[in-house]
Structure 1
Amino acid sequence: VGKPLLDLVVPEGVPLVAELLKGMAPGSRLDPIPIKLIGVKGPTVPLSLMGYHLPDLPGNHFFAIRLGSPANSVETLNDESRDPESGLLEKEAFAEFATQQIREAGERGETLKLTMVHTGDLDDLRARMDAEHAENAIRSMGACLQANAAGGQAAGQLDDGAYGFLHKPGLNVDKITDRVEEIFKAADPTGEGISVNTGTVDAGANDMTEADSVRVLLYTVNQFCESGGENFTMASLADNLKSMTRETTEKLAKFKVIAEQSRFDVAFQPIVALDTREIHHFEALARFGKRLDRSPYDLITFAENTGVISDFDLAMARRVLEWLVTENAKGANHVVAVNVSGQSIANTGFVAALHDLLQKFDAIRSQLMFEITESARIDDLDAANRFIQGLRAAGHEVCLDDFGAGAAALRYLHALEVDVVKIDGQYVRNAMEKQRNQAFLKAVAGLCHDLGIATIAEMIEDEPCATMLSGCGVRFGQGYMFGRPSFDVAEFQSLKTPPQTPPVKKLATLPKVQETGEVIMPDEMKTRKPTGSRRPKTPQNRW
């Protein structure tokens, strides 16, 4: 009794409560926010604070506290979901929580606004202050955004100097901008501060699923962070946000239709043995024509960044399997590799759907290979390896794409048991430029050989490059020297074709996929003894 409210709040919560008090005009109401108070034995459990600024007694407030966080709280998120410096939600957590808030507001018949904040060079500002003052300034700025955000929480740190918060339409954003500038100016010993620009867009709910809404918001946030610059103005930032959101929404909808209805073409590029120049197999590459005004690379990157690549990976596998059936009926015996994103591997729904699809084409399993792309997106290497072993046990060979010479590549090679690795084209170019780089390439090829793993090199454009790679121990190659991607594999008849080989041996009992997407390996593979190689040596082995 008799203590100021701020003296009762845990230190990390003081900036937020202080900003809330500062922003409450007479007659205004404070929606429930989560706080913790200083208890006898330490911080209390999460509490809900709500209040009212008495209109007849300016400067006096009525507050009520109850046990438990507000129903729409993100208090349950761990500390990793918040930026340690600003106290705001990290980018992914912000996108998810903001989308939830937008949906709930729409169900109540309410609308919300999304404001992005771009500050000047924070590093210069930090250099002018000691660590404590810099930390307090950033924390106060975060508290200001959080205090004015929907539910006192829907504010996020998107990048260094880039922030966003969700709020009610009536909020005076100019006032918030001035307040943030005031915080930095007061903390700066020179009194200069830094510039602050904001842009606001409508954040109304749409016809997309909540998952797609999160994807659009997160992708827009990423685009906003990448496009930030010194020439931003409030008007241009707002216009950029509107166009980014609209374009992302439209592009996502179009891409989902392309994946669902297989509205793409498949081109094939040969992979050849560098010693005999025989075609070993083809890589299937997507071509979109004029369906979307982007290159195939840009579209696939967009799909990976928005989390819809799994739908496309499945559609591509289906198209290639159907093509193989047609070609087999003509007497052909092609082997084709399709790409699977590292992001798809983590999607249990995709894993289950893929195994269901492959089961329908059981007779031609050995003609379909898989290339694991975007391995940097793989967080759980053990789970990824279980996925890979499930494919191999069922008769599919697996390649690790975009392989490099760094420590990360060796970590993947140690954790992921594959049949072949494809060396990234950048390393091939580097090896052509410097003799020293060839030593790294030779070391990678030698390590793979000792592990029983074949090697493919990308971007081979001339004979000197092919000769250099052969000298380094790389056995297979891909590039314009052997053929550009084509819709008709007959164009590659000038290249030799290998004699037809028996299919890769499958296990008698195929892996089972649970509803969770986990691949359960058959007993015969669990008990298989090592042969001294990561890949079993059999007469049927094509490598």
Structure 2
Amino acid sequence: MSNAVRRLAGFAFTSADLLLEIDLSGAITFVLGAAQAMVGKTEQALISGGWRFLIDADDRPLLEAMFAALDDGARRGPVQVRLAAGGAISLTARMLSENPGVICCAIAPAAKPALAPKAGQALHDRAVFEDLAKGLAEAARVTGQDFELAMIEFNGLEAVRKALTPPEAATLDQQVAGALRAEAQGGGAATHVEGERYALLRERGEAAEVMAKRLSRAIRTSDQAGAVTAAALAVPIENPGAARFSKALRFALDDFAREGIPDSPPASLAEAMNRSVRRTLTRAGELGMAVSQRRFTLAYQPVLALKDHSVSHHEALVRFEDGADAFAMVRMAEEFELIEELDRAIAEQAVRQLNADRTGRLKLAVNVSGASMISSPFIEGLTRLIERNPKSKGRLIFELTESSAIDDFDRANAHIQTLREMGSMVCLDDFGSGAASLGYLQRLSVDIIKIDGRYVRDLASEGRDAALVRHIVRLAKDLKVRTVAEMVETAEIEEVVRREGVDFAQGWLYGRPMAIPEWPDTREAAAPLPARRMGTRDDWR
């Protein structure tokens, strides 16, 4: 080995343990370094197998997008990717001008925990992304790195997806996720915001327009996706360790979900937050008027007892004027301390519906925020409401949501027992959706838990979700607590939840939310209804 080559190899190995050369077909044409130690393969096995067999299937779209966007002389990474055999590596790719068509990859141990989404997930969900962003911001405060929030809109993506078959659409979604992860910090800090809108965190430096062109090119590698073009906005994150960071990030993403990329981009995340706050305050004022003037209605969805298909009760779901998103409105009510008034107004309307029921068989479940459940004035108001309306006694169920965290479990549990003593059952809503679910069940004595629909709707596949539901039901039975499965949308899923021992079921199989409570004839199998896309909250509250 000549001195020049030896020096070059020494230079390379100061930052990497394994060097690969990959051609445009995906074949590994050259290997140098600690192959066995780094990836568990011999040099000969790597050359004969190609790079794809080496990488976990969930991370292949990331590298495909990264390689496809390389120009002569360009460098991408480092990104963390998982190996098919287990473990993770840090990979940096470069295409040398002197050797076009050959991708040089430097591989080193993954220095930090992988930022990749969980197995089977294309991208992080919004909550995990926000937590991840908080962690990166704290790290940046120590290391001095500068990060920015990039918001990306894939114009035409929804139209293209609708024109594809389900397998083709799934492939396109994987391609989009891979392209986004290739741009994100560590190959993982990206999320789906709404519709065609996505967000990611990355280090500052490159113009957002350059990234948008690269994303457009990555998606156009599919013939069917030729009409998709990306637009991007990057917002600097200043003072990343500040306490306002999490709120600023949430407001900025909420605003992006509603408004898209603005014509006049904000100069910083703080400015993006301020704009969002101004708009939100206006909407909060409108929400306050809607609540105080009772400008909302309730829709009713049946909940069935699986033992005999009889209607156990109906859940009352709030619907605002002008089709406003209920989930967003309730979240805003919590943010601006309007939730007690909203929960009280919904309970009052539910009681009026019970008073109007001449059959005596109607029972209604209404949602109550954690913030309301720890409020003594709210519980006192509920008890007076029930006492004044004896027809409602024993016919109200209160579903406790996790959307606002409980910070006083002793008081919350005392209030729950007060409601139970008045004949009302209490249910933990969306059990399993948040990290606090087990803690709630441990510290609160309730009658029912409602299993989060995200675990229910794919039960027929008998995967990890089925095992999770099985354990939740077993835990509930040990605690003498009944269970409700939501998002039961097919007879097949109903059969699975019945077999697992779930007590009640709710979902489109039995009917959509209606303006008037109905008792569907469920003795015969209901016609299957179109499954909802994950992430929608159209039945929320």
TM-score by length of 1: 0.48
Larger radius of gyration: 1
Structure 2 length as normaliser, TM-score? 0.48
